[in-house]
Amino acid sequence: MEILVLHGPNLNLLGSREPAVYGATTLAEIDAALLRRAGEAGFGLASFQSNHEGALVDRVQEARSDGTRFILINPAAFTHTSVALRDALAAVALPFIEVHLSNVHRREAFRHHSYFSELAEGVIVGLGASGYRLALEFALERLDGTHN
């Protein structure tokens, strides 16, 4: 699987979780759309959600040797807290895009800082579920012509 999509804590509740902030689309719908689009383009895509910081760190470490070439990540609340997850991404040194459904800059001050943004290829905030789709398009463009 060339593309890994990582979802942090509470994103398993998408669809019912604060829909005014995060939208009505469920995580399963987001993942299915990404899988379909990557498949159309001839790439494999794996998604992983966890509420546990260590499980996300473990999954990032696995990406070092499982064929992953690009990561899309919404670290959710860990965006603002997790040096460990940031360090894992730095360690595997794979390019990644940071995605947030909501416009974090329009929200509470504690959401304005991300431990990930300076390492990311790019950051998409505030575009809802479309943000994942747009991030994937960029990843596909990057990987295009480099099929193994």
For residues 71 and 89, is the Cβ–Cβ distance under 8 A?
yes
Q: Is 97 in the site for ligand DQA (CB under 6 A)?
A: no
Tell me, by CB under 6 A, how many residues bind ligand DQA: 10
Q: Which member of 7, 52, 100, 115 is catalytic?
A: 100
> Does 69 carry a binding-site annotation?
no
What helix, strand, coil percent values describe the chain, rounded to 5?
Answer: 45, 15, 40
CB of 79 to ligand DQA, least distance (A): 6
Nearest to 101 by CA among 134, 128, 78: 128
Q: Is 133 in the site for ligand DQA (CB under 6 A)?
A: no
72 backbone dihedrals φ, ψ, rounded to 5°: -110, 130
> Does 65 carry a binding-site annotation?
no
CB of 122 to ligand DQA, least distance (A): 15
Provide the b/e sequence for 3-18 (b: ≥16 CB within 10 Å). Answer: bbbbbbbebbebeeee
Query: Which pair of tokens denotes residue 88?
Result: 């894992």
The DSSP H or E segment spanning 7 is strand 3-7
Q: Is 68 in the site for ligand DQA (CB under 6 A)?
A: no
- Please pick, from the candidates 79, 129, 135, 140, the single residue that binds ligand DQA as defined by CB under 6 A: 79
Q: Is 10 in the site for ligand DQA (CB under 6 A)?
A: yes
Residue 132 known to be catalytic: no
Q: For binding to ligand DQA (CB under 6 A), which residues are involved? A: 10, 74, 76-77, 79, 100-102, 104, 111
Binding site for substrate: residue ranges?
74, 80, 87, 101-102, 111
